[in-house]
Amino acid sequence: MHILILVECLIFELSTKRKIFFRTKLDLGNADISTRGPPSIPDSKSGQYLEFTASDLDKDVAQTTIPFIETQQVVPQPYILLSGLGVHHKGREGYGGFLSPQVFTFDYAEHLQPMMNEFPDSNNLRDNSRENYDVYANPS
């Protein structure tokens, strides 16, 4: 039995205003168990899908389902707002890899605009002084 994990890439066709989905398969080939190989690195891209399958017949007698599912916690430090969740594949050539959770953090810096009254005089700085620097929410 094959289970499909789909990561869809949405392309919007301007002339007809239709949504078109393009996906490509992330082929694991005749892969060995990932715990036998070098450390895994992210190798999937947006718009790819993968199929759970058996490991290589010659290397493992096809007795293991790959890729493995990584259950490690994914928590941004320091805690920050999330803008999205996803999954990605981590692996190496010739190995089944791991299907891992992924978080995307919210970049609030682009919504803040520093307002400076003047540059601070390095000889006249006081602790916890906010006289010269204020941060306001960007209205745009």
Please list the ranges in the chain whose pLDDT falls under 70: 1-21, 114-140
> Which run of H or of E encompasses 22?
strand 18-22
At 107 the pLDDT is 83
At 123 the pLDDT is 54
CA distances from 72 to 16, 80, 100, 116 (A): 43, 19, 8, 43
Residue 20: how many other CB atoms lie within 10 Å: 10
At 99 the pLDDT is 95
Q: Where are the domains of the chain?
A: 4-108
The per-residue pLDDT for range 19-33, each reduced to its tens digit, is: 556 788 999 888 999
At 12 the pLDDT is 46
